[in-house]
Amino acid sequence: MGSYSEFYRRSVDDAEAFWAEQAGLVDWQTPPRQILDASHPPFAKWFVGGTTNLCHNAVDRHLATRGDQAALIFVSTETGVERSYSFKELHAEVQRMAASLIELGVGQGDRVLIYMPMIPEAAFAMLACARIGAIHCVVFGGFASVSLASRIEDAEPKVVVSADAGSRGGKVQAYKPLLDEAIKLSKHKPDAVLLADRGLAPMELVAGRDHSMSALRAKHIDTPVPCTWLDATAISYTLYTSGTTGKPKGVQRDTGGYAVALAASMKHIFDGRAGETYFSTSDIGWVVGHSYIVYGPLIAGMATIMYEGLPTQGLDQQPNGGIWWSLVEKYKVTVMFSAPTAVRVLKKQDPALLAKYDLSSLRALFLAGEPLDEPTARWISEGLGVPIIDNYWQTEAGWPILTIANGVEKKPSKLGSPGVPMYGWRVKILDEESGEELTAANAKGVVAVEGPTPPGFMQTVWRDDARFINTYWSSVPGKTVYSTFDWGIRDEDGYFYILGRTDDVINVAGHRLGTREIEESISGHANVAEVAVVGVADALKGQVAMAFVVPKSGDAASDAEVALTLEGEIMKQVSDQLGAVARPARVRFVSALPKTRSGKLLRRAIQAVCEQRDPGDLTTIDDPSSLQQIKQLVAP
């Protein structure tokens, strides 16, 4: 094990030689001709001329040496199902799914939109797309019809893969009616819909369009489908992330760079070893699910646990705050990846549950998705007795930007810090106004990444290079750098601390939501004149959305009963349009919103008041009483 600082220095000073070495961690049909083409910044093309396949690297290459080893372990506490697939069985299921998609007309470069609960068929569909060179676009199961329609319209999928329903906390959520409504709303109509029937909700099939997954699977039970070798720079998938405008941003990822980035991260960051078990509690609708439920662990030859259910419910559907720890014991999990929100939920359970199970296989618990607070980190660290490793990254990044690379050199974590820059990432703290780099310890600035960006980072925004450049690379004056849109500081030891967003995206329990999207939804209500939505710190979820509304008819601000009815209507509207996760924690009614004299909404001041912080210099405010009114409404 060498020194991490030397390892890091090589990765940025001699990037091509460094990544040429890492490329040896995956199989290539044709080796790359050129490691990096950075001739058109800010675009970076990795492993040019090489051909490979994500599905081959995740499944086929393990068949000879570990074909009978567990590959995908499915546990649903919602339906009481527990099922393990070996690499051989996974290989067979993926081919059946691939053959089904081919029968429905899917070919290389076509899009397949996957709108699925956390069931094995969702992973089969992702891997089947990768196998045949189709581009998958996973949309979080349970997104409302309006959000789903905008993604169908943008991705233009040939086929949508879905299911009758998902379930959460014992409540069945029918997906098919949401999907039917979304297709109705979308200008683009898919040729076919492939449906898994779990028997959870009745399903009406549309003749000629809808197909039964089990029927096609039976038809193709023995159909072999070889891997299609793809250029390293070919698109593997797109994944939508919240923007500050209502139009979704499709983060576009390549094939070769992503395979190498994940293989390297499994080794250097997660220290995951073939034959072991990896357990990520995320969802395939988010980037963590793509990178560290499906592709990463399988590429590393590990078994991966795919979990459907709450962290507090057992396989018998009874309350059980120890369910995750029982899975760690049963499957000898060595690496676990979760979110601070989940740990805060578990913190409310009996602490004896942590001591009840044999957790000796676990080497580390990784947390990401939102900032980790010190009390939560301390509680879980003491309870598990293993390193708790925070990490920081984004949908755009594909893999961690800041963490601790224990696979290279064991270093201590610092409470409150996600860690240090990972190899390949040139992370800087820049002054927001001047763009100058801030090198002094604890100087607050924007966390930015200098190009060329490492393998695995997004290629561009799907079908919108201009938006990629304008959104990400043009916000720091005088510099072409990738802005994370997060404030941060770096301490004297080089550890980073993330201090919150510089834009209008908030983080609710690891879900990134654009406050503008929520505002647009609320402003569509007939009795809403104006609205401001801000993210407010919350002990359990990290942040929650708070909405402040100026009603068109004034009585909601003074009549409690009218306010309650209107609040309910607005909440329902947001749920229906954007999904329950985007629903504000509260809607409060005011007579005016605080603005500058030029009419700019003072969202940061509203947020500060909600969090009982000093709102700062208010000399620019047009009507100070508007902020006073908010102060009274949110007073503890």
Coil vs helix vs strand at 210? strand
379-437 tens-digit pLDDT: 899 899 999 999 999 999 999 999 999 999 999 999 889 999 999 999 999 998 899 99
Say which residue the tokens 């060595």 belong to.
Answer: 334
Where is pLDDT greater, at 430 or 614? 430
**CB of 349 closer than 8 Å to CB of 320:** no
Please give the pLDDT value at position 370. 73
CB-based contact 481:449 (threshold 8 Å): yes
Q: Cα–Cα distance between 233 and 33 in angstroms, integer?
A: 12
pLDDT at residue 465 is higher than 80: yes
Q: Are 580 and 171 in contact (CB under 8 A)?
A: no
Give the architecture-level CATH label for domain 428-501: Roll (2.30)
* Mean of pLDDT values over 534-560: 85
- Which residues are within 8 A (CB) of 387 and not within 5 positions of it... i.e. 6 or more apart? 363, 364, 365, 381, 404, 406, 413
When pLDDT is cut at 50, 70 and 90, the band that residue 597 belongs to is low
How is the chain split into domains, by residue range? 4-427, 428-501, 508-634
Per DSSP, the three-state class of 54 is: helix
The position carrying tokens 């059980």 is: 320
> What's the token pair of residue 73?
């372990």
**Single-letter amino acid, residue 304:** T
Residue 615: predicted pLDDT: 81
Residue 163 has phi, psi (to 5 degrees) of -145, 170
* Strand, coil or helix: 373: coil
Q: Is the predicted pLDDT of residue 505 greater than 80, yes or no?
A: no
Which residues are bridge partners to 243 per DSSP? none
Reported as a pLDDT band with limits 50, 70 and 90, residue 625 is: confident
- The count of other CB atoms within 10 Å of the CB of residue 226 is 12
Pairwise CA distance, residues 252 & 245, whole Å: 18
HSE-up (13 A, CA, CB side) for residue 170: 8
pLDDT (tens digit per residue) in 128-152: 999 999 999 999 987 889 889 999 9
Second CATH level (architecture) for the domain 508-634: 2-Layer Sandwich (3.30)
**Collapsed DSSP state (helix, strand, coil) of residue 574:** helix
| Alpha helix segments (H runs only) across 186-315 | 213-219, 256-268, 287-289, 296-299
Higher pLDDT pick, 26 / 520: 26
Judge contact between 228 and 53, C-beta under 8 A.
yes
Closest CA to 346 of 318, 312, 388: 312
Q: What is the mean pLDDT of the chain?
A: 92
Percent of the chain with pLDDT over 90: 73
CA distance 323 to 159: 36
Model confidence at 557, in pLDDT bands (50, 70, 90)?
low
- Whether the per-residue pLDDT at 501 is higher than 70: the answer is yes
Confidence of residue 536 (pLDDT cuts 50, 70, 90): very high
| Calpha distance 633→587 (Å, rounded) | 11
> What pLDDT band is residue 209 in, cutting at 50, 70 and 90?
very high
- Which range is least confidently modeled, 244-248, 544-548, 570-574, 621-625? 244-248
pLDDT digits (tens, 9 = 90+) for 441-457: 999 899 999 999 999 99
In angstroms, rounded to a whole number, what is the distance separating the alpha carbons of residues 435 and 329?
49
Specify whether the CB–CB gap between 528 and 590 falls below 8 A: no
Q: Distance (Å, rounded) from C-alpha 297 to C-alpha 272?
A: 8
Task: Give yes or no for a contact between 392 and 425, defined as CB atoms under 8 angstroms apart.
Answer: no
Question: What pLDDT is recorded for position 348?
Answer: 78
Q: What is the pLDDT of residues 265-314, one digit of tens each?
A: 999 999 999 999 999 999 999 999 999 999 999 999 999 999 999 999 99
Instruction: Give the 3-state DSSP-derived string for 264-298, with helices as H, strands as E and coil as C.
Output: HHHHHCCCCCCCCEEEECCCCCCHHHHHHHHHHHH
42-45, long-range: CB within 8 Å, 24+ apart, which pairs? 42/451, 42/452, 42/453, 42/468, 42/469, 42/472, 42/473, 42/480, 42/482, 43/459, 43/460, 43/465, 44/451, 44/452, 44/453, 44/457, 45/233, 45/254
pLDDT exceeds cutoff 70 at 600: no
List own/partner pairs for 208-211 with CB under 8 A and 24 or more apart: 211/100, 211/104
pLDDT of residue 508: 83
pLDDT for 149 equals 94
Q: Is the pLDDT of residue 541 over 70?
A: yes
Does position 234 have pLDDT exceeding 80, yes or no? yes
Burial of 415 (0-12, 13-18, 19+ CB in 10 A): middle
Q: Place 244 in a pLDDT band, splitting at 50, 70 and 90.
A: low
Cβ proximity of 351 and 383 under 8 Å: yes
Architecture of domain 4-427: 3-Layer(aba) Sandwich (3.40)
Cβ neighbours for 381, distance < 8 A, ≥ 6 positions apart: 387, 388
pLDDT of residue 243: 59
Which residues lie below 8 Å from residue 494, measured CB to CB, with a gap of 6+? 420, 421
How do strand 481-490 and strand 303-308 relate by DSSP bridges? Answer: unpaired
Distance CA 38, CA 258 (A): 17
Quote the pLDDT of residue 246: 62
pLDDT above 90 for 344: no
Of all residues in the chain, what percent are helix, strand and coil, respectively (each to 5)?
35, 25, 40
Residue 242 in this model has a pLDDT that exceeds 80? no
Torsion sign, CA atoms 359, 80, 126, 91 = positive
Closest CA to 573 of 630, 619, 526: 526
CA distance linking residue 507 with residue 515, whole number of Å: 10
State the virtual CA torsion across 211, 144, 279, 161 in degrees, nearest 10. 20
What's the rounded Cα separation, in Å, for the pair 255 and 264? Answer: 14
Nearest of 514, 574, 516, 509 to residue 537 by alpha carbon: 509
Summarised one tens digit per residue, pLDDT across range 64-78 is: 999 999 999 999 999
